Structure 1
């Protein structure tokens, strides 16, 4: 055992003990965060516009500040982008993280001196919790790869602009610099396919112990490694690779394919990061869900997803939430986002400590007929339908077919198979059965002959990668929506 791994175990125990203190006092911890946020933002333009000096309670805050998305906050953000100070938070941010996904194009999310450390510490602490629970720290001596965006930044008005993953690359601790891959030069390659090829060349002969990234793009990296190695299993190329760290999308639809490519099971750690904040990480290999980070400068509110579009939906704090209810996540942060709807929905798996799973996106759903289908349901259906079979899925998405050429409307599942089912109709039936068990609205529509059962359309090999490339969203932090309420993706794929 190396000195580095011994030190990692000692540090891991310290962080674990610190986490227990605040996670066992969720309401008290969140109230403390709330008061600090309000106090520090009183003198900002946003604070003055919303009378922060009169806010004494969370109820006051909710009355004074409406829920917003990016478009609603954009007028303030535009002032900050011009270098103006004390707009959303004291001073001005040190970074703007550029993301995509709004009706008006790119989003620019501020990162401040107060908020930036949370992004770094959360990723570190997720690994330390793993070390503390499992006792496995040998991987710290191997090479670690983080598939991420380019770290090249641009500067305007004293603020640096870039992708979040590229910004984070500037904060890799010194003790990891020798272990970290790829090289800085390779990381700066903008074209994703060229970048992956360069990463393969750099890493194929290294002792990789930890691999991290969004599963769909790690899969592409693995495929290129196998091509380069003449079809070897990833576990044979990297004999000490035993930890996969991921975020952004659910790993379960990819797990069977990954285990086949690797040649064995490896431990995994799930993260819940976003440009708007680092919200949760998997703190235990034994418990379902990720630990919600209640002490990291973010005040959370939760609105039941099925009430969200009502005129005045009730907002719940962390002390009022229930297990297995689908909530829209609302945040207020020390980067100056106030009652901000990030678009994600979560469900609590445990309370005390509070753990969550990401159940989907409030804008990514299917309800063409009132069925209210969410990502968590379609992912569970796919998991159940493939369990115990040799079926392997590369990627899939779901869309409604409202006007079929014949017969009743249906949900179309567009699937790229690695190993196809022997009977596609039986496979569709298994998916449909799972969906009906999970979603009573969908079941009613099938029973009432409003919808016909699931229809599967096979997507050609690399079809999803080609689609993402055509949209300018190949690689990096880009994610394919698991389902849509329209046919924009489905029709492009077909």
Structure 2
């Protein structure tokens, strides 16, 4: 125990040195971002992409915006395919050895996101250290390295192809973690990299139930599945009985709002919660304030940020602004230029700034995951805020949900149709629906206008899902575990109709 305590003290001392560097980019954000952009342009000027777009002649942001187009994955895919075949100097110097396979939530087909050595070390790995540094700075009495961190990642189905590899980002990261991280994490690397979800769950439970776990890292929905299985296996009433030293859950991937009360109940007491914003394309934000629901935009990870105002978003004419021109409260589509070789890449997420000094954000939705069938422009953050109110009003808690439009037919007004899988059902479903509807009106004036007198939109249609519906649906789609997410909103009925059919 004394050795663990000493290790905890030494590691904490080293990681806190990073705080000064974080404060520096908070104080000098624009200079930091300009340094990122021009160092990467210089580094990649002799690549194929750099030559095509004249990187060597770019001397200002305006040059960059004029010379280099904003691209989607489909636009950039031909270059990625060349890199996957082992060709050198396509969009980043040298050979890109690793690609993160991601279906994302905007397109059903697989995407292969390049993971260069630079992005692995200076973005993803650096962010992991920063997360712990920020937490340690906020909680000087932490015992993170005295106890184990339980990580829950994706599968490790690595596939060799032209001497390059592809697999889940979490698997790539776990496969490249330094030895000292392995000492402080559970389950073992072998179990963490298992691919079949059900077998993996059993193996994880077998290893972690006897450990002294002090922190959790993962996606809230899948971590909840694991914790429920652990309680069933061990017979404990709550997680604190098993892990009395559990102090923090580092979570990301989906909003934590619908899960907060469930975690309080299943853990049996209050712990700390810290949100992260990461994706295969990069690591973007870390909650830097205890108890906050904002994330600090991380500006020195080799990612240059631009933003497209969603009220001016036109897929045929994409125009972005730099960080210094953003405003508080507006929704922006995020455009990134990264040290993995993505140049002015439209990632598909939307964010809203909550602070400009320093730059802090909330993830507000997806550029393709919203409901706007009637001009209501309903984003995921509107929905999650309204659901929080509805759950509080009816003593309910939600495991999963999705929503879609009901289109106008034969003179009938349209509607939004929802299916909710509850951990605890509302004590009054009609009241739940009313509070949900009314709070959507209060946070979204476009929705309120369309609901006026039921002229365009009628009251929401709400279905209660049978137990395990979303789990079984994700299983049928081969999307269990790891970084896979239930699509929350859709402008068509691609997800809702199959779920309703399974719910009969």
TM bin, normalised by shorter chain, reads over 0.9
In structure 2, relative to structure 1, the CA distance for the partners of 1:310 and 1:473 (3 Å cut) is closer
Which residue in the other structure is 1:247 paired with? 252
What is the correspondence of 1:190-201 to structure 2 with a 5 Å cutoff? 190-201=195-206
- The alpha-carbon deviation at position 384 of structure 1 amounts to 1.7
Secondary structure, aligned partner of 2:495: helix
User: Where do 5+ consecutive residues of structure 2 fail to align?
Assistant: none
- The alpha-carbon deviation at position 89 of structure 1 amounts to 0.7
What is the correspondence of 1:369-384 to structure 2 with a 5 Å cutoff? 369-384=374-389
Which residue in the other structure is 1:304 paired with? 309
1:50 aligns with 2:48: no
1:422 aligns with 2:439: no
Native 8 Å contact 2:85 2:164 kept in 1: no
Deviating more after overlay: 442-451 vs 243-252: 442-451
Native 8 Å contact 1:303 1:315 kept in 2: yes
Which residue in the other structure is 1:126 paired with? 131
Of 8, 32, 36, the match for 2:35:
32
| Partner Cα distance (1:473, 1:223) in 2 | 19
Which residue in the other structure is 1:71 paired with? 74
Which residue in the other structure is 1:412 paired with? 417
Which residue in the other structure is 1:3 paired with? 6
Native 8 Å contact 1:8 1:128 kept in 2: no
Native 8 Å contact 1:123 1:271 kept in 2: no
- The alpha-carbon deviation at position 104 of structure 1 amounts to 6.9
1:258 aligns with 2:273: no
| Partner Cα distance (2:62, 2:266) in 1 | 52
| Partner Cα distance (2:437, 2:292) in 1 | 28
| Partner Cα distance (1:289, 1:475) in 2 | 26
- The alpha-carbon deviation at position 313 of structure 1 amounts to 4.8
Native 8 Å contact 2:218 2:250 kept in 1: yes
Of 467, 472, 476, the match for 2:478:
472
Secondary structure, aligned partner of 2:320: coil
1:282 aligns with 2:308: no
- The alpha-carbon deviation at position 407 of structure 1 amounts to 5.4
Native 8 Å contact 1:399 1:486 kept in 2: yes
What is the correspondence of 1:174-213 to structure 2 with a 5 Å cutoff? 174-213=179-218
- The alpha-carbon deviation at position 221 of structure 1 amounts to 0.2
Aligned length: 494
1:438-462 CA distances to partner (integer Å, 9 max, x unpaired)?
A: 1111111110511111221100111
In structure 2, relative to structure 1, the CA distance for the partners of 1:103 and 1:150 (3 Å cut) is closer
Native 8 Å contact 1:288 1:349 kept in 2: no
What is the RMSD of the two structures over their aligned residues, measured on CA atoms? 1.8
- The alpha-carbon deviation at position 179 of structure 1 amounts to 2.3
- The alpha-carbon deviation at position 12 of structure 1 amounts to 3.6
Q: Which runs of 4+ in 1 moved over 6 A?
A: none
1:114 aligns with 2:118: yes
| Partner Cα distance (2:7, 2:289) in 1 | 22
Secondary structure, aligned partner of 1:216: helix
1:232-264 CA distances to partner (integer Å, 9 max, x unpaired)?
A: 211111111111011100111111111111111
1:461 aligns with 2:467: yes
| Partner Cα distance (2:139, 2:236) in 1 | 32
Native 8 Å contact 1:8 1:137 kept in 2: no
- The alpha-carbon deviation at position 388 of structure 1 amounts to 5.6
| Partner Cα distance (1:150, 1:430) in 2 | 39
1:371-422 CA distances to partner (integer Å, 9 max, x unpaired)?
A: 1111111011111222365211111111111157995321112101122112
